[in-house]
Chain A
Amino acid sequence: MEVVLKNLTKKFPGRDKKNPVEVIAVNDFDFTIPDGKLVGLLGPSGCGKSTTLNLISGLEKPTSGQIFFGDDDVTKLPPENRGIGLVFQNYALYPHLTVRQNILFPLQNLKGKEKLSKQVMEEKALEAARLVQIEDLMARRPSELSGGQQQRVAIARALVKMPKVLLLDEPLSNLDARLRLQTREEIRRIQNETKITTIFVTHDQEEAMSICDLMIVMKAGVVHQIGKPQDIYDDPKNLFVAKFLGTPAINVFEGEVKNGKIYIGKDGIMDAPKVQDGKVYVGIRPEGFKLAEEGALKLKLSRVEVMGRDVSIIGTKEEAQSKNVRAIISSDNLVDTRKDSVAFDLNPKKVFIFDYDTEERIRF
């Protein structure tokens, strides 16, 4: 089911009684989530991504704008009539019910024509349990399960009614690192098998990059960029998106464009013939560096971190926004650590420049 948001806005009234300041959690969202895809809502804490999810689920009412599921306007429908499954951040499994009873719960709510016989309900519950591979745990209570297993039960409960849209709120945040890797593969597999349009919220860019078909990057209630993870990574629209995606993070320098050339300090690193002169931010991805004796960009060498597959060269530069500048090169290259400085050539595809005031990308 395609999900369309039209000029969706959600404002919360200010908490402070003397000086109430409205909080705009979601500001004029206008995009379409295509049918049958796994979509990630990505942004730092407090950017309104959970609010967006709650608006789609119907737990929150929008201040203005509309939500469509396919051709149906669901803006005014209560959550139960929208045909959604929702997995809460802390799973919200009913602690006094067994896994089986938890999964059966949504089915037992069906009334009238939709009402199912006991046998059909049990079959559907078992089917959902099989999908997330917890059919051996049906008799247990949530308190007797690990975090990862609870997560699966929550997904099974959300899937048992075969919703049109599956919503996951920070599905991996309560899991440890190893389980997080495993579970994100699980979510990808389950989505592939069910083909249900799935929207999940995360603040972890790696998580979103690794499994999403489509990624929506937002900050402070505003959508910054929508696209395939690799496309957004390779072609960020502004400085925020460039900084937010990628581990290790992009290196940002204060630079200048003069006579069609980009300078960081005294180093003229690259030609940019069509760009007007002025101050810019220069972003260089860590993998965009190439060791070269007479390279264009010179860094003061601090240390070298050997990671096996590749080597991180940590240097400093006065114009850099962060203390350290990190360059990742293949471990075949030998770095003379006795030297004070190191020089690099740059891969033009990994270098972005941004307007100094608006922080918007300048293409060259």
Chain B
Amino acid sequence: MEVTGRNNFKAWLYLLPALLFLGVFMVYPLVDVFIYSFEEGYNSASQSFFGTGIYNYSYVLHDPYFLQALKNTFILVIITVPLSTGIALLISLGLNSIKKLKELFQTIYFLPYVTNTLAVGLVFMILFKKTAYSDGMVNVLINAFGGESVDFIDGPYWAKMMVLCIYTIWIVMPFKVLILTSALASVNPVYYSAAKVDGTSKFRIFYRITLPMISPMIFYLIITGFIGAFKAYSDAVALFGTDLNVAEMNTIVGYVYDMLYGDSGGYPSYASAAAIILFAIVLTITVINLMVSNRTKK
């Protein structure tokens, strides 16, 4: 089809609303944040700064709070993404192979998705928090098996990290189960019949037939899982309150928030630099993910 000038004009007109929104709310802030990250001591009230350079990055990368947040975020990502995807796959396989009560179980597994983050945080508090009156459900269990109580909310680092990971996995699970059950259901049953006639073992059917056929969905979940985990913040707040630096449970997004509004707030330049670092990390990981998934497809 020939693209005339008139047609071109029309096309841009159709795109205008989307472009306007993207420009104002996505592109402009992104460019702005990028500029702030190089302006030292930027003050949003007076719109003034001392000078330009990479000092903001240097400061952030030497800030022990940021390094703690970086470490926390990476641990969270590395533990929760594979575990949540793997467990979701197991649950979906289970759901796919039962006939009775399938819908009931599907609903139960989907409940966390529609539950408010802070409400779930409250439930986890009851499970894990040590108070003057009780040690929490989990500690009662640990005691029953002869172990000693652990303070999961204000106690050692590993205990707090464990609670955060369990919490995150629990929160992200329903969406993954939903996606994977529908992916599994969409595999044509004739392949399973063919495999059965050929005497394929259950494990081999899963590994050689089911898994490759749903692999696009798994890659999708891993990529979005990585991005989601890197952006974690509200989960930590729900469990440990807003003073995350003291709790040693801060995340990168949490650090950015603190730099902007927190007790130590009022440093938009540092916040911008931290945000750009997070952006670079997420971009790198996503590109690697896409490269791996493309190679497997071939």
Contacts and interface: CB of A to CB of B under 8 A. Distances in A.
Interface of A: 57-59, 78-81, 84-86, 88, 90, 92, 94-97, 105-106, 108-111, 157, 161
Contacts of B201: 109, 111
B196 interface: yes
Determine which residue in B196, B199, B208 has the highest number of CB atoms from chain A within 10 A of its CB, and name it.
Answer: B199
B107 interface: no
A327 B75 CA distance: 85
Nearest to A82: B197
B159 interface: no
Contact of A84 (B188, B190, B193, B197): B197
A80 B190 contact: no
Contacts of B204: 108-109
Contacts of B279: none
Interface of B: 188, 190-191, 193-194, 196-201, 204, 208-209, 212-213
A80 B212 contact: no
Given A94-B209, A96-B212, A96-B213, A88 B196 contact: no
A106 B193 contact: no
A79 B197 CA distance: 5
Nearest to A106: B198
5 contacts: A58-B197, A59-B197, A88-B190, A88-B193, A109-B200
A79 B196 contact: yes
B194 A92 contact: yes
A354 B213 CA distance: 55
A106 B198 CA distance: 5
B193 A92 contact: yes
A90 B190 contact: yes
A59 B199 CA distance: 12
A81 B197 CA distance: 8
Contact of A81 (B188, B193, B199): B199
Contacts of A58: 197
Contacts of A157: 198
Given A80-B199, A109-B199, A109-B201, A86 B212 contact: no
A161 B197 CA distance: 11
B281 to A, nearest CB: 32
A92 B190 CA distance: 6
Contacts of A110: 199
A93 to B, nearest CB: 8
B214 to A, nearest CB: 11
Nearest to B196: A79
Contacts of A59: 193, 196-197
Given A88-B190, A92-B190, A105 B198 contact: yes
Contacts of A96: 212-213
A88 B199 contact: no
The 6 lowest CB-CB distance pairs between A and B, nearest first, are A80-B199, A106-B198, A92-B194, A96-B212, A92-B190, A79-B197
Given A94-B209, A96-B212, A106 B199 contact: yes
A98 to B, nearest CB: 12
A80 B198 contact: yes
Contacts of A79: 196-197, 199
Contacts of B188: 92
Nearest to B215: A96
Nearest to B205: A109
A94 B196 contact: no
A281 to B, nearest CB: 41
Nearest to B204: A109
A108 B212 CA distance: 17
Nearest to A108: B204
Given A57-B197, A105-B198, 7 more contacts: A79-B199, A80-B199, A81-B199, A90-B190, A96-B213, A109-B198, A109-B200
Nearest to A158: B197
Contact of B191 (A78, A85, A94, A109): A94
A58 B212 CA distance: 27
Contacts of B200: 80, 105, 109
A80 B209 contact: no
A110 B204 CA distance: 12
B210 to A, nearest CB: 11
A348 B9 CA distance: 80
Contact of A86 (B191, B197, B208, B209): B197
Contacts of A90: 190
A157 to B, nearest CB: 8
Nearest to B191: A92
Nearest to B198: A106
B194 A86 contact: yes
Nearest to A81: B199
Contacts of B191: 92, 94
Contacts of B193: 59, 86, 88, 92
Contacts of B190: 88, 90, 92
Nearest to B212: A96
Nearest to B209: A94
Contacts of B209: 94
Contacts of A92: 188, 190-191, 193-194
A110 B190 CA distance: 21
A84 B193 CA distance: 13
A275 to B, nearest CB: 50
Contacts of B198: 80, 105-106, 109, 157, 161
B290 to A, nearest CB: 19
Contacts of A86: 193-194, 197
Contacts of B199: 79-81, 106, 109-110
Contacts of A85: 197
Contacts of A57: 197
Nearest to A163: B197
